[in-house]
Amino acid sequence: MCQICRRSFIRGAAALGAAGATELLSSPLMAQAVDTGASKLPPRGEFTIANAYVMTMDGALGDIAGGSVHVRNGEIVAVGKDIAGGGEKIDGTGMIVMPGIVETHWHMWNTIFRSFAGDRLEEGYFPTVARFGQQMSPDDIFQSTRLSAAEAINSGMTFVHSWCHNVRSTAHAEADISALAEVGIRARHSCGWPQGVPDTQSADQAPIESLARDWKSWSNDGLITLGMAWRGQFRAGPIKPEVYQPEFDNARKLALPITVHVASAHKAVNQIEPLYKAKLMGKDVQLIHTLSANAAELDMIKESGCSVSVSPGSELRIGYGYPQIGEMLAKGIPLGISVDTSALTGSSNLFGVLKLARDSENAKAESEFKMTARKALELGTIEGARSMGLDDRIGSLTPGKRADLIAISPNTLNMAVVTDPAHLVLEATAAENVDTVVVDGRILKARGKLVAVDTPKVIAGARAALAGVRERTKWR
């Protein structure tokens, strides 16, 4: 797909009348670009969700039974029991209203391979993704990320961290960002390396430099930020400094946040200490997994100011072991929870992953009471936002913050009753319960239906992309 066409379509669509759009589409180059529709996002209006059970996740405001949330021009204006409200009134009776769920590391580009990781070594996650990934066009990335972003909104996530480690060209990165923009989700795009590049070769810096130069025009009105997905010092084996250092230095030069896997394929090798000694940690660096961190390394994470993202859904599935959630929280390390990859986890619903986070802590401690449901929900909201450096804007229903929120309806067989709200939300919320989703004041899901996403088109696009990649890789 021609990224310039896609881009100019996004920019131009709002200004064009129907005749202009038809003219554009008569060009064969533009034929596919009709898929992009950032201009279809609903406006940021004014509304008040009234008479709901409001879980603000704000320490000072707490939970408010029979509460209201007033939103205007993308901002939370007021939260409380007796506020005046304004704009359209949305009846929240029987609903639980809370901040949107914050996701912190997700390879959205490979969601078209959902549940494709098999049961034999050669069908495992890494060989599968490497083989397929090398055959992906920019449009395949677009279809996969759009599917992910639509699923995210549908299941109550309002922020995602698109960890894009298949940037085969600038157009591939732009396709990932275009998909995020079209769906209207708040996001970080972390621009990485292409699948299949040898670990003896530095990643091409042209894509990230191109994006950074012109980021304002890609940011979807500030909803999307840019970061670097960095390979780090270890992949299948150690990577040499002359390979990894220029990548890291470039991210720092561009003043971009850095994110890096510290996986557990080398449990015998301490991977955090070498990062620390090489001065490759800091407040601008997010570490992922870090399951094998020893006590000294946990101190290094704390001292350096790094945040951490853990993904119990994929970590348990792939056999990495249990994340060190309790240990990190005890040290005060900023911590977020993540999907990681739908190729391993199937469903990307982060409520399910948050439940696994709580359950894995309780399992390790052999205690029903090690981690509270409320703490798990904090990890999915305000603490996740803090770990991404966004807690001044999102993560709680606090007046002055941006309006990223969801309303959960328990009026289904899998919920039906409201007992303890925090436990119920953590343990039972499915996508079908997510009635309303608001991102930056835009209502993207209402009465259980996606407003700005053409779901059949998203599904058809993802299926066609997978079919094409399977054909090109001769994978039967």
Binding site for Zn ion (CB under 5 A): 340
Single-letter residue type at 30: M
Q: Which of 398, 431, 402, 437 is nearest to 414 (CA)?
A: 431
In the complex with Zn ion, which residue's Cβ is closer, 357 or 437?
357
| Cβ(239)–Cβ(199) below 8 Å | yes
Minimum distance, C-beta of residue 342 to Zn ion, in the bound complex (Å): 11
For Cα atoms 358, 408, 313, give the angle at the middle one, nearest 5 degrees.
Answer: 30
Minimum distance, C-beta of residue 378 to Zn ion, in the bound complex (Å): 22
Helix axes 138-154, 455-473, angle to 10 degrees: 140
Minimum distance, C-beta of residue 261 to Zn ion, in the bound complex (Å): 6
In the complex with Zn ion, which residue's Cβ is closer, 340 or 440?
340
In the complex with Zn ion, which residue's Cβ is closer, 310 or 424?
310
The C-alpha atoms of residue 289 and residue 311 are separated, in whole angstroms, by: 7
Helix axes 170-183, 138-154, angle to 10 degrees: 30
In the complex with Zn ion, which residue's Cβ is closer, 47 or 159?
159
DSSP codes of every residue in 160-221: EEEEE----SHHHHHHHHHHHHHHT-EEEEEE-PPTT--TTSPPP-HHHHHHHHTHHHHSTT
In the complex with Zn ion, which residue's Cβ is closer, 340 or 435?
340
Minimum distance, C-beta of residue 167 to Zn ion, in the bound complex (Å): 15
Minimum distance, C-beta of residue 107 to Zn ion, in the bound complex (Å): 6
In the complex with Zn ion, which residue's Cβ is closer, 79 or 197?
197
In the complex with Zn ion, which residue's Cβ is closer, 24 or 301?
301
Minimum distance, C-beta of residue 421 to Zn ion, in the bound complex (Å): 31
Q: Per the structure block, which two tokens stand in for 18?
A: 């129907």
In the complex with Zn ion, which residue's Cβ is closer, 314 or 398?
314
In the complex with Zn ion, which residue's Cβ is closer, 10 or 197?
197
Buried b (16+ CB within 10 A) or exposed e, 232-258: bbbbeeebeeebbeebbebbeebebbb
The C-alpha atoms of residue 388 and residue 380 are separated, in whole angstroms, by: 12
The C-alpha atoms of residue 126 and residue 341 are separated, in whole angstroms, by: 11
In the complex with Zn ion, which residue's Cβ is closer, 140 or 315?
315
Minimum distance, C-beta of residue 163 to Zn ion, in the bound complex (Å): 6
| Cβ(161)–Cβ(148) below 8 Å | no
- Ramachandran quadrant class, 462 (left: phi over 0; alpha: psi -120 to 50; beta: rest): alpha
Residue with the CB atom nearest Zn ion in the bound state: 340
Q: Which of 114, 194, 62, 181 is nearest to 444 (CA)?
A: 181
Minimum distance, C-beta of residue 437 to Zn ion, in the bound complex (Å): 25
Strands 46-55, 88-91: pairing kind: parallel
Minimum distance, C-beta of residue 164 to Zn ion, in the bound complex (Å): 11
The C-alpha atoms of residue 1 and residue 194 are separated, in whole angstroms, by: 18
Minimum distance, C-beta of residue 291 to Zn ion, in the bound complex (Å): 12
Q: Is 268 exposed, middle or buried (0-12, 13-18, 19+ CB in 10 A)?
A: exposed
